Structure 1
Amino acid sequence: MAPASNQFARISDLEDRAGELVATRRHLHAHPELSFEEHETASYVAGQLESWGYEVTRNVGGLGVVGRLKQGNGGRSIAIRADMDALPIQEATGLSYASTTDGKMHACGHDGHTTMLLGAAEYLARTRHFNGTINLIFQPAEEAGKGSGAQAMIADGLFERFPCDAIFGLHNHPGAPAGTFLMRSGPLMAAADTATITIAGRGGHASRPHLTVDPIVVAANMVMTLQTIVSRNVNPTETAVVTVGTIHGGTASNVIPESAEITVSIRSFSPEVRDTLEQRVRDIASSVAGAHGASVSIDYERGYPVVINSEQETAFASEVARELVGEDKVGICPMIPGSEDFAYFLEHKPGCFLRLGNGVDSAILHSSKYDFNDDSLTTGAAMWARLTERFLSA
């Protein structure tokens, strides 16, 4: 533990507000809103920030909220982001504070992310132990998949309107003990792309296949050949995933259909591998179809890019975390094949996206049984408060 550790925010400094944080988190959990629908959540966040003296800007990139607070004459500025949206999942936790809206729940912990940043916001406004400018970004639509909240806020001039020297964010991590932090410099989370491949054949009677071009056979060959991309085109020291998630074609056993469709999820951790994967998917789809006398159309959609943490900001966040919780509770995060639109922020600013343990026995993310671990609330809030104070220390 660093000798100066008591000069900045500690978990114990937030413990007297633990009950309020739990109440806030459970309120948000009970009232989930999907991507681009976060009206009440955004209003709640903005009202809290205003009550603490923040300069609040609403409707940034749609429903985004930015709280700005300046203290002293320091020229540095920091941005910290929390996401606000829920998922279209029917909750099955049976909790007293479970979702009150059918078919919607906070199954990814964004209720906890928002609460932790609000906890830090209240503490920082009350103590004012920093010298510079804070920009707290409450982002909608992280779960959108495309045209996300991060993209919308950036397009709406986020970094021009609220300049910052670095940006930080976090996600809870089921399977890791509550109160622990995981970090990784460089690529952390994967780019996620989707290919929809439509195979056009020539239909006919199942008893006369020689008079047809069977798109089911083409699809079957294509699925198997696509599985060679990673093993035969990607360096074994790199990581990539190609998964055929759906295959559709035909309506009856005695009919060869006119067409079939497969969809493919493609994940990668570097721009170069990402380009290779796209090219190979296109090449294989076209060549396999051509070999059978069929044709294809390919809709290749690039989703969120790779989350790439900058080295300096990751080292800084790791140092702050070690001061806060101790050396033994900060580890190296494995590369995660899931995706995250925080990547767009990191394309514009240096920063770090870190992971906070949600408990060893936590249900997995996007599960109807998932719940954010309230034991992590004071730890996360203290982390953001301390990191801000250290970053903007006089």
Structure 2
Amino acid sequence: MTTALTEPEGAQTEWPGPLPGAEPLPGQLDRWLASRGAELVAIRRHIHAHPERSNHEFETAALVARELAVAGLTPQMLPKGNGLICDIGEGDRVIAFRADLDALPLADLKDVPYRSTVENVAHACGHDVHTTIMLGLGLALAQLAERGELPGRVRLIFQPAEETFPSGAPQVVASGALKDVAAIFALHCYPQLPAGLVGVRSGPFTAAADTVEVKLTGPGGHTARPHLTADLVNALARVIVDVPALLDRRIDPRAGVSMVWGSVHAGQAFNAIPGEGEARGTVRILNREAWRQAPELVTQLIKDVVAPTGAQVEVGYARGVPPVINDRMASAVVAAAAGAALGSDRVVEAEISMGGEDFAFYLDHVPGAMIRLGTATPGSDEKRDLHQGDFDVDENCIGYGLRVMVHTALAALSTAAF
């Protein structure tokens, strides 16, 4: 791999070879990866230092396209130019891998040489790592394809706008990115696991994430005479407390439903009943059928709770993303591949997350699975989490993630399950 980016000072020039119990990569790729570690770290740090918000990932997409083109590949930009796809190898059946490109609208609080140079924009969810790993996957598979050792066709999808609603995945699907795709895979940084471990789970993986907004109106009045008006504060309190409780009793508890309010506002004066108020929150669900029922049910419950108070109510229910439900066979393939890449003792069961992830939109069309990539420094007591301004990773995770993805690509291409 040739890159115009400067290798980072102090970064390892070689990554460790395969871990104990791991299988070597084919075609001398272990040697190739070990010698290119610093270059991939340089790419990750460049992306980290130059983050781009959702729907504005033009420079990041261009950087990825240039690196793929240098390797002799032919990337195709998405219609807006802020994402791309790239095929490696030949064959009628395609195995796809997805990375997300966008950063978050928050400040980078770290004191590191690759700290964000863009005010109040930071890669605090690891998308720079995802992008680097999938770029590395393309470069590695290009090596195999050049020698005629890639047993099929792989497609890389570099997607914009994962962190916003509406998100970018439906646009990518609409552009034809899943044409001929038999299965799709992805990974996500997970700072609760140390680098060198991955988490895999079949079935529900992340929750659907919708938003609900409730607006109440009434004539207002004096707090001394609530019986002469609609007491909006009381009505809002009923909505906030009663609706989540009622929802829990109207949906099968096995569906994994969580309704939580994040914003409430009504009035200014302590002795005046306000004429308007609002509450906003999220509805998260692990079960797809329950998710389909949620808009109508939540809306009706809110109206039923408000009706006796005399307030007027408007409900806005907005779809976010569906739940990610990993396919059983795809999960088995990536679990076995991760065991081959890292050693079977380094593959653990992933926890279910109530966070949202628009990878779910791809799974509406083709089977697939997402895994969690450990990013914490082994043995460190430092606690970091996603979506925090000090988020960072142990950069060895790039090599581990790349090994897992290469093994996954080769295993998925070789199986008749898809």
Give the TM-score band, short-chain normalised: over 0.9
Q: TM-score, normalised by structure 1?
A: 0.93
- Deviation string 1:175-194 (CA, Å, 9 cap, x unpaired) is 11111111111111000011
2:152 counterpart (110, 118, 132): 132
What is the CA-CA distance between 1:392 and the residue it aligns to? 2.9
Match of 1:37 in 2: 56
Matched residues in 1 for 2:114 and 2:40: separation? 14
Partner of 2:133: 116
Count of aligned positions: 389
Are the counterparts in 1 of residues 157 and 177 from structure 2 also a CA contact under 8 Å? no
Task: Mark the runs of 5 or more structure 2 residues left unpaired by the alignment.
Answer: 1-18
77-86 vs 198-207, which deviates more? 198-207
CA contact (8 A) 2:191 2:375 kept: yes
State how 1:151-162 maps to structure 2 within 5 Å: 151-160=170-179
Q: For 1:1-394, what aligned pairs fall within 5 Å after superposition?
A: 5-6=23-24, 8=26, 13-60=32-79, 63-71=82-90, 74-128=91-145, 129-146=149-166, 148-160=167-179, 163-229=180-246, 231-359=248-376, 361-393=382-414
Amino acid at match of 2:112: L
Q: Which amino acid aligns with 1:22?
A: V
Return the offset for 1:234.
Answer: 3.5
Q: Which amino acid aligns with 1:106?
A: H
Secondary structure at 1:338's aligned position in 2? coil
TM-score where L is the length of structure 2: 0.88
- State the shift of 1:375 in Å: 1.4
1:240–1:11 distance in 2 versus 1, CA, 3 Å = farther
Higher relative contact order (CA 8 A, sep 6+): 1
Contact (CA 8 Å) 2:220, 2:273: kept in 1 or not?
A: yes
Q: Which amino acid aligns with 1:14?
A: L
Cα RMSD of the aligned pairs, angstroms, is 2.1
The whole-number CA distance in structure 2 between the counterparts of 1:281 and 1:182 is 33
The alpha carbon displacement at 1:388 in A equals 1.7
Cα deviation, 1:323-376, whole Å, max 9, x if unaligned, reads: 111111101111110010000001111111111111164511000110133110
Task: Say if 2:99 and 2:157, in contact at 8 Å, map to a contact too.
Answer: yes
Aligned counterparts of 1:131 and 1:3: Cα–Cα separation in 2: 25
| Higher mean C-alpha displacement, 151-160 vs 322-331 | 151-160
Structure 1 segments unaligned to the other structure (5+ residues): none
After superposition, the Cα gap between the structure-2 partners of 1:12 and 1:296, relative to the gap in structure 1 and judged at 3 Å, is: farther
What is the one-letter code of the residue matched to 2:56? Answer: E
**Distance verdict in 2 for CA 1:2–1:105, change over 3 Å:** closer
The DSSP-based 3-state class of the residue aligned with 2:76 is: strand
Whole-Å Cα distance in 2 between the matches of residues 75 and 305 of structure 1? 29
Paired amino acid for 2:354: P
3-state SS, counterpart of residue 42 of structure 2: helix
1:313: Cα distance to partner? 1.0
| AA partner of residue 381 (structure 1) | L
